[in-house]
Amino acid sequence: MSVPGPNMLVAGKKVVVVGMARSGLAAAEFLSKRGASVKVSDKRPEEELKAEVEFLRRNDIAYEVGGHVERSFLDADLVVVSPGVPFRLPVLQRAFESGKEVIGEVELASRFLRGRVIGITGSNGKTTTTTLVGEMLKTSGFSTQVGGNIGTALTSLVDQSTPETITVIELSSFQLEAIPTFRPDIAVLLNITPDHMDRYDSFDDYARAKLNILKNQRPSDCAVLNLEDDILRRSGESIGSRAFWFSTRSEVRQGTYADGEQFIFCSATQKETVARLGEIQLRGRHNLENIAAAITAARLVDAPTTFIAETLRRFQGVEHRLELVAEINGVKFYNDSKATNTDATIKALESFKGGILLILGGRDKGSDFRVLRSLVKERVKNLIILGEASEKIGHQLSGLVPITQAENLEVATQMAFEKARPGDVVLLAPACASFDMFQNYEHRGRVFKESVQRLMGS
């Protein structure tokens, strides 16, 4: 955003922050420092929130735990909702009905943030693309900061922002549900495929949340869209900003495409080769799409092609995203713990020709695992399943390849290695959330990598 949004005067206001996760605590601290009277509300019992409660006490911020007190919401001037909190929560609905302003942490931060904003969303590829854009801009010498869903709450980046800063933000559908005024100068929408069906009533509801990133854009803003995504191709015809496209299959008139040998960026006034595919280290067609999107965003803020190409030559990917962990006796182990939906798992499977020992399972998000059947039959040698969704996965993928149940991830890794032969790939691409066994997908990925390290020492 070239100019900050309307200055929200929070001093003296009563604000309820819902949820004690990372963004909730950051929002509470941000508001408290600006003179607001803040209370943080969480439904979990205090014994599960010891570190969070200690943080709030240390910063003299009020809190309520073990449930949400309706009176707190009705007395508030403003309610700030953490991404993990569903808007159908009864106290939030009553706050809406009583006329309270209810916004998300991203919206709160955006009203204070200075400089330009690049917002990046999509069902898959967000973190890789966000990281890549950030690296391209830093290499080019721009004052750059990266945050949002990638791990750094946006409110914690406000104070160091300046009119010259470019803030690159990874945005989830949850964060995009509550943005009445948030407007990125450049909105990047990578893809929209089924995800979080345990939270949304329908795929259309989920898609609408993703498309919210475009709703406040103006004619001077830019939207970077995937030409191969049917929803985005249709949406691009009716947006209020300038559309730039990216593709790995078709030439585009405005944006970036790959012609099989190189990435080419096109604008109304130029057509230029940015980088050669042979120099890039990332695996998979999906990563070529991520790269094309990142090139487009970087060129739109005038990052030089030489620095973009330099970044691509050295960029090896992001942890937990199709990450090569090790090779043991000719067997390669890949950690794609971030593959928390079936579409991400499809992209991971498409990155290898065959010989895959696939580890699937975790907490189901309302997925239909049958969409994996053709690729599992074609490329997977053995399927190791675990977690809450294992029974459903086993049922929906039965009759294709041998399936083995594992009690935990370490056992699954050991089983896969025992079944593997030189040239094979052990792939963790769970197609599920991690919360049945782990704190988050990062925790799951670390456990997998630790399990592989133990195999190396055995």
pLDDT at 195: 80
pLDDT at 3: 38
Reply yes or no on whether the pLDDT at 297 is more than 70.
yes
Strands of the sheet with 37-41, listed across from one edge: 62-64, 37-41, 14-18, 78-81, 101-104
Reply yes or no on whether the pLDDT at 32 is more than 80.
yes
65, 53 contact by CB (below 8 A):
yes
455, 328 contact by CB (below 8 A):
yes
Please report the domains of the chain, with CATH numbers, ordered by start residue: 14-106 (3.40.50.720), 113-314 (3.40.1190.10), 323-457 (3.90.190.20)
Determine how many CB atoms are found less than 10 A away from the CB of residue 70.
Answer: 13
Reply yes or no on whether the pLDDT at 316 is more than 50.
yes
N- to C-terminal Cα distance for the chain? 54
Look over the chain and give the mean of its residue pLDDT values, rounded to a whole number. Answer: 94
* Residue 6 banded pLDDT, cuts 50, 70, 90: very low
At residue 176, φ and ψ (nearest 5 deg) are -85, 0
As annotated, the active-site residues are 126, 149, 196
334, 324 contact by CB (below 8 A):
yes
Determine how many CB atoms are found less than 10 A away from the CB of residue 280.
Answer: 17
Return the higher-pLDDT residue of 284 and 440: 440
What number is the average pLDDT over the span 237-266? 94
At residue 275, φ and ψ (nearest 5 deg) are -160, 160
Query: What 8-state DSSP symbol labels residue 158?
Result: S
What number is the average pLDDT over the span 260-278? 93
171: left (phi over 0), alpha (psi -120 to 50) or beta: beta
* Residue 1 banded pLDDT, cuts 50, 70, 90: very low
The token pair at 212 is 């919210």
pLDDT at 458: 64
Reply yes or no on whether the pLDDT at 292 is more than 60.
yes
What value, to the nearest 5°, has the Cα angle with vertex 388 and ends 383 and 394? 35
At residue 163, φ and ψ (nearest 5 deg) are -60, -20
Return the higher-pLDDT residue of 44 and 195: 44
The token pair at 324 is 């090569």
The token pair at 380 is 């997977």
192, 231 contact by CB (below 8 A):
yes
Q: Which residue in 388, 394, 384, 369 sits closest to 438, CA to CA?
A: 388
Sign of CA dihedral 24, 25, 30, 35: positive
265, 136 contact by CB (below 8 A):
no
* Residue 283 banded pLDDT, cuts 50, 70, 90: confident
Query: What 8-state DSSP symbol labels residue 248?
Result: S
91, 159 contact by CB (below 8 A):
no
Separation CA 113–CA 81 (nearest Å): 18
| pLDDT digit string, tens, across residues 355-399 | 999 999 999 999 999 999 999 999 999 999 999 999 999 999 999
Confidence (pTM)? 0.84
The token pair at 145 is 């900061």
| pLDDT digit string, tens, across residues 55-103 | 999 999 999 999 999 999 999 999 999 988 988 899 999 999 999 999 9
How many whole angstroms from its chain centre is CA 71? 34
Separation CA 4–CA 190 (nearest Å): 26
What number is the average pLDDT over the span 394-417? 98
Separation CA 299–CA 277 (nearest Å): 18
